[in-house]
Amino acid sequence: MHDLYTWLFRLALPLMLFYLWWRGRADTAYRKRWRERFGSVISHQGTEKYADGAVRIWIHSASVGETLATIPLIKTLAARHPQWQWLVTTTTPTGSQRVHEALGPILNERLLHYYIPFDLPEFLTPFIEDLRPSILIIMETELWPNLLAVCHKRKIPTILVNGRLSAKSARGYARFSGLSRKMLRHITRVLTQYPTDAERFVDLGMPIERIKAVGSIKFDLHINADMISDAEALSRQWRGESHRQVLLAASTHGGEDELLLDAYDTLRKNFPDLLLVLVPRHPVRADAVARLCKDRGLKAVRRSDGLAPNIDDQVLLGDTLGELLCFYGACDVAFVGGSLVPVGGHNMIEPAAWGIPVVCGPHLHNFSTVSSLIQESGGLVIAETSLQLADKIAVWLSNKEQRIAAGNGAQQVASQNSGALGRTVTEIEELMCAKLS
């Protein structure tokens, strides 16, 4: 089964290249650095930094969501082990950008970043031989059969952290049980978010002694004094002298923006000064979202222009990277996207940590346990249509006490479930100690 997978992957390679080229129509970064996807290590990145015998930690986080969860893990480990060097691979340009912005100034000469090669031995083997990682840390669900097989063959320990496995994904892996079982046995350690995730991995063939449920590291948010100050400044800027209310629609996908703008039109009947801060998941969609606003006669201003919205602006288009966490601290109610369309939802822990009540769509399989916990606290509600969105948001906008109570419930869930980061760090350090001994 493994050999069949490898040959099918080779046959599909032209389609993957066409996909990258197609994505490059909207984001030209997809058409760049293709050599890396074939395992080529570009010398000008500074591989000479990697002296023989150095400890090299390889972390793979596919896209921006996984990368955001990776950053505090790397910062914690890097502070505890200043001699370690870091190789971070991503799949998407947005993930790449966040790596350079968030980690480059901190790690400096200790950081390398590449796109991960296609999952074929002829690309992965030279990549690994050139960069010589000591360990591979994989974020969440980025499981690739040949990647794990090559690491296993070269005796490189692999650990899956913040692992999650939805019932839907588990059924998909089970359809190819021969391939999945062999792949999972190549993983040295699996740290899952919750016991249900661990049970699904075991059902698929992961040895039970290699797996542990430690919680989600996304709960370990550190909202420091600088963030609070920045959020307060944003809030004053957005609200202006009229103290207008702010609705944040975060990480939206195509098909969601239209529903949110419909809901916003409905909400403006009772909240005429309401400011909608609309943040597409991928900033390259900003032009398309701006056209949607213009077609509806809405006056929008872009965050990237550096201008504060005035009382006549109805929409602030969040087309920058790295500011969303701060945005949550400046709003009254937050919608978290990827949930009105079957993406599986994005991180609703961030608004919860600020004490902000959350509205989501019904597609939450990527955060099934987290969303259930926050929903049980009263801090999250589900809406499926634009009218439902408007109704549920209106309840919180019109009732401050109820809004605060809902936010407090969400914040309590975030606080009670923290601690997974420390447990994950301990497990990684133990694995590295065994590797180096």
pLDDT digits 0-9 by tens, 390-417: 999 999 999 999 999 999 999 999 999 9
Parallel, antiparallel, or unpaired: how do β-strands 275-280 and 300-302 relate? unpaired
- Would you say residue 107 lies in a domain? yes
Asked whether residue 166 falls in the same domain as residue 240, the answer is no
More confident residue, 317 or 142: 317
Give every CB contact of residue 124 below 8 A, 6+ residues apart in sequence.
39, 117, 146, 147, 150
pLDDT at 53 over 70: no
Cα–Cα dist 119/31, whole Å: 19
Catalytic site residue from 66, 140, 256, 350:
66
Asked whether residue 250 falls in the same domain as residue 370, the answer is yes
| 27: exposed, middle or buried (Cβ count in 10 Å: 0-12, 13-18, 19+) | middle
pLDDT at residue number 236 = 96
Asked whether residue 68 falls in the same domain as residue 179, the answer is yes
Q: At 362, give phi and psi (nearest 5°).
A: -80, -15
DSSP-derived 3-state class of residue 334: strand
| 340: exposed, middle or buried (Cβ count in 10 Å: 0-12, 13-18, 19+) | buried
Asked whether residue 124 falls in the same domain as residue 270, the answer is no
Asked whether residue 75 falls in the same domain as residue 185, the answer is yes
| 435: exposed, middle or buried (Cβ count in 10 Å: 0-12, 13-18, 19+) | middle
Give every CB contact of residue 196 below 8 A, 6+ residues apart in sequence.
369
Domain total in the chain: 2
Parallel, antiparallel, or unpaired: how do β-strands 135-139 and 333-336 relate? unpaired
- Would you say residue 235 lies in a domain? yes
Cα–Cα dist 50/56, whole Å: 8
pLDDT at residue number 52 = 55
For residue 268, the enclosing domain spans 225-417
- What average pLDDT does the segment 358-363 reach? 98
Give the pLDDT confidence of 187-216 residue by residue, as tens digits.
999 999 999 999 999 999 999 999 999 999
- Would you say residue 15 lies in a domain? no
Asked whether residue 265 falls in the same domain as residue 188, the answer is no
Is 199 in the active site?
Answer: no
Asked whether residue 412 falls in the same domain as residue 431, the answer is no
Cα–Cα dist 201/190, whole Å: 9
CATH number at residue 261: 3.40.50.2000
pLDDT at 44 over 70: no
For residues 294-332, one letter each, b for 16 or more C-beta atoms within 10 angstroms of the residue's C-beta and e for the rest, the string is: eeeebebbbbeeeeebeeebbbbbbbeeeebbbbbbbbb
Mean pLDDT over each residue of the chain, to the nearest integer: 93
pLDDT at residue number 48 = 47
Q: Which residues, listed in sequence order, are joined to residue 315 by a DSSP beta bridge? A: 276, 300
pLDDT at residue number 88 = 96
- Would you say residue 13 lies in a domain? no
- Would you say residue 6 lies in a domain? no
